[in-house]
Chain A
Amino acid sequence: MNETITVPTNGKHPSYLEYKGKYKGFLGWVLSTDHKRIGILYLVSILSFFLVGATFGFLLRLELIAPGRTIMDPQTYNSFFTLHGVIMVFLFVIPAIPAIFGNFFLPILIGARDVSFPRLNLLSWYLYIIGGLLAIISIIAPGGAADTGWTFYIPYSVRTGTNVIYALFAAFVLGFSSILTGINFVTTVHRLRAPGMTWFKTPLSVWSIYSTAWVQVLVTPIIGITLLLVVIERTFSVGLFDPALGGDPVLFQHLFWIYSHPAVYIMILPAMGIVSEIIPVFARRTIFGYKFIALSSVAIAFFGSLVWAHHMFTAGMSNTGQFIFSLLTMIVSIPSAIKVFNWTATLYKGSIELAPPLLYVLAFIFQFAIGGLTGVMLGILSIDIMVHDTSFVVAHFHYVMFGGTGFGIFAALHYWLPKMFGRMYNIKVAKSTFWLVFVGFNLLYFPMFIMGWLGMPRRYYDYLPEFHIYHLLSTIGSWILILGILIMFTNFIVALIRGKKITEKNIWGGETLEWTIDTPPIHENFLEIPTVHEAPYEYKQNETDIRQFQEVK
């Protein structure tokens, strides 16, 4: 990757947006192996699926505004929460940060011109699109959309007449997309770091995407095989999981969660990287406890892969199993707590600017803390028995996945979009929109904790009258949230069309490598590969100020 690159223009280096490759127009995008263009392809496709998933969520909430039927029948409701789950998990939260921002910024952050395998990278996007199309086919094909929940529990998933096979294949293909991206990033981080960038001089978002990539590579094949086995079970009635044929449904649950729990860390770790990246920039000071944040990502990736059976405390495991999985679950909360403390400490004696990215990051910390603390509650055996499969769990994982990762994505969009497109959004609108999104989110999900503890089971089309007030509040919250998200996206789109053009390299005062290159970046990222001397987020001017101050004294 270090050979000199000849630029096909007359002396001027075009940005990746204007760059003329072998193909023009649309083909110039869908056949480009430039990591930045692939990142944009992902940006458009992933956010589109997010809006689809959010629409399903919105309709589910609308149905639940009052007891009894409101706008749809139970079969439609069951399909909608399945689609909401499948789309949000496999097409949005898992790929979002690695595929959009990892693709676009990981090579730049480590001072490389591209990922290690650019063509494999494009293939990952094609697989993503194929998986997405299969998911759409599963909605519209005759037979009806899958109604199993995104967990595909057997024997229900073997018995239902709906299009489970399409949905399973969609998840299967998306798994391959995820694995290929993971392999690409692991190799890229190992092989393409700029000269001088030792492991402990690597930006923290690289650490978290790197840890995530390992989990993607190691556990995704298990879900691939498992989902394929369900397809085989449905088609040929082999008797692997279906008890009617002598199979074991609990075996399926184990295989499913061996992937799907680490998948939760695939979803949250990259967002933690974003948080670690953004706080020092807007506090204008070095990050507190760099090594602890970096290594806690690795610890989360490791321990997070060993706690899957805490999804099955009511399934009837041996007491030894319950003991070990509960204990490990409690331990995996520690590295997350360490991160939260270090982030908070990074604000201490900073020079803080409450720009939109930092607002979303602070909301992330607040909401992730709630999600994490309720996660601890769920890891406690006797409490889990009570609240397992209630809306308490729904609230918990939405606080982590949406209040955490979702807000991390919003933070990253506000932080990096100007760099990606060379256009600035309206900051005032972004700040007021934040409050809509924040209030809407918390009003939507917090009541679910209360009714979950009071005994409201999840995946319920209808409910007892005593839960009405919580459902009503939650639905009102969903309206505020959706409104906020629509304004946010409009703000971005308006910015892309006629936002203020920016050519400044370093708009936020960041100290990582993306802020040393052109806005928007040129096709090659760096004309000359940089040599790295310092750890990221050093903010040397603070040190000199202190020294001068001491000398004066």
Chain B
Amino acid sequence: MFNGASNFSHDVDSLFLFTLIVSVFFLVLITGLMIYFVIKYNRKRNPKATNFHGSTKLEITWTLIPTILVLIMFWWGWKGYSKMSDIPENAMTIDVTAQMWSWSFKYANGKVSDSLYVPVDKPIVLNLQSMDVVHAFYIPAFRIKKDVFPKQNRVVWFEADEIGDYDIACAEYCGLNHSYMYNKIKVVSEDDFSNWLYGSFDTETTK
């Protein structure tokens, strides 16, 4: 369930787990009460109902508690998002081009690749541009996603935590082969990365 591999995944996963626990609590509470009432106050058992028009105390309670909870979730989510939108200055920049239906990656030295090679534990900034329609750059394992527009720039950044291969998907519907718009991101050690970038590294062995 939690197999994140970037600097954001831990925070997103913890928040998800927190909201999941709160949600399950309320769902069980509501459903449990419903089932209990339906059994206990079944017409056969309880032929006469009793009227309750309401209770201001209860209304305040079940307004305040959820309000506090959602505000905590909001703030936590906002903090997490701020980190995602706060692009570090020392990061390595890679240009990402999306077009129907694949991704391509261009490095500062002019090298172009179908797979996104990045060094582990280094901040990476991606400049996103589309050649045609709207796409969305999505790495599920990194918990990041950004829409990619033609003629408009978008950036996304991350720091990969673990060496390995992960999927890059397109998350914004873009026509016929939208579901085949998968490329790989390959997180490698810093040495392997510089070897690859300057060409002396045999790319086949990492596959």
Binding site for B on A (CB under 8 A): 74-75, 78, 147-149, 153-156, 159-160, 243-244, 248-250, 283-286, 288-292, 313-316, 319, 322-323, 326-327, 330-331, 333-334, 337-338, 340-342, 344-345, 347-354, 362, 365-366, 369-370, 373-374, 376-377, 379-386, 388-390, 453-455, 457-464, 538-539, 542-543, 545-546
Contact = CB atoms under 8 A, between A and B. Distances in A.
Contact of B19 (A78, A338, A380): A380
B173 A459 contact: yes
Given A352-B38, A373-B26, A344 B33 contact: yes
B26 A457 contact: no
Given A341-B62, A453-B1, A462 B149 contact: no
A324 B49 CA distance: 45
A386 B54 CA distance: 40
B171 A461 contact: no
B77 interface: yes
Nearest to B86: A319
Q: Which one of A75, A155, A384, A546 has the greatest number of beta carbons of chain B within 10 Å?
A: A155
A352 B52 contact: no
B23 A373 contact: yes
B40 to A, nearest CB: 9
Interface in B116-150: 132-134, 136, 138, 140-141, 143-147, 149-150
Given A333-B70, A380-B19, A388-B171, A351 B43 contact: yes
Interface of B: 1, 8, 11-12, 15-16, 19-20, 23, 26-27, 30-31, 33-34, 37-38, 41-43, 46-55, 58-59, 62-63, 66-67, 70-71, 73-74, 76-82, 84-85, 132-134, 136, 138, 140-141, 143-147, 149-152, 154, 167, 169-180, 182
A246 to B, nearest CB: 8
B80 to A, nearest CB: 3
A457 B170 contact: yes
B26 to A, nearest CB: 6
A423 B137 CA distance: 56
B133 A348 contact: no
Given A338-B63, A457-B170, A366 B46 contact: no
A147 B30 contact: no
Contacts of A545: 48
B170 to A, nearest CB: 7
Contacts of B85: 319, 322
Contact of B12 (A369, A370, A382): A382
Contacts of B73: 330, 376, 380
A383 B16 contact: yes
Contacts of A249: 134, 149-150, 152
A325 B143 CA distance: 21
Given A382-B11, A382-B12, A349 B46 contact: yes
Given A74-B177, A330-B70, A351 B172 contact: no
A388 B169 CA distance: 13
B95 to A, nearest CB: 17
18 contacts: A74-B177, A78-B178, A160-B175, A285-B52, A289-B55, A316-B149, A330-B71, A330-B74, A334-B63, A337-B62, A377-B16, A381-B81, A382-B15, A382-B76, A455-B169, A459-B173, A460-B179, A542-B49
A333 B66 contact: yes
Nearest to B144: A385
B145 A388 contact: yes
Contact of A459 (B59, B143, B152, B178): B178
Contacts of B34: 344, 347, 362, 365-366
A362 B38 contact: yes
Given A156-B175, A334-B63, A539 B167 contact: no
Contacts of A147: 175
A354 B38 contact: yes
Contacts of A338: 59, 62-63
Nearest to B80: A382
A342 B53 CA distance: 10
Contacts of A322: 78, 81, 85
Contact of A283 (B49, B74, B134, B169): B49
A128 B48 CA distance: 46
Contact of A316 (B20, B62, B146, B174): B146
Contacts of B59: 289, 292, 338, 342
Contact of B82 (A319, A350, A377): A319
Nearest to A542: B51
Contacts of B52: 285-286, 288, 345, 348-349
A380 B13 CA distance: 12
B2 to A, nearest CB: 10
A290 B73 CA distance: 29
A390 B179 CA distance: 12
B46 A326 contact: no
A316 B38 contact: no
Contact of B43 (A156, A160, A353): A353
Contacts of B74: 326-327, 330, 379-380
Nearest to A151: B173
B146 A383 contact: no
A385 B145 contact: yes
Contact of B136 (A289, A314, A381): A314
A249 B42 CA distance: 56
A447 B185 CA distance: 27
Contact of A376 (B70, B141, B178): B70
Nearest to A319: B85
A454 B3 CA distance: 9
Given A348-B41, A385-B84, 14 more contacts: A74-B179, A155-B134, A244-B150, A249-B152, A283-B41, A288-B53, A288-B54, A314-B136, A319-B81, A369-B26, A376-B70, A461-B179, A464-B182, A539-B51
Contacts of B11: 382
Contact of B179 (A331, A345, A370, A463): A463
Contacts of B79: 382
A292 B146 contact: no
Nearest to B182: A464
Contact of A386 (B48, B132, B145): B145
Contacts of B169: 455, 457
A285 B180 contact: no
A52 B108 CA distance: 53
Contact of A155 (B8, B33, B54, B132): B132
Nearest to A537: B51
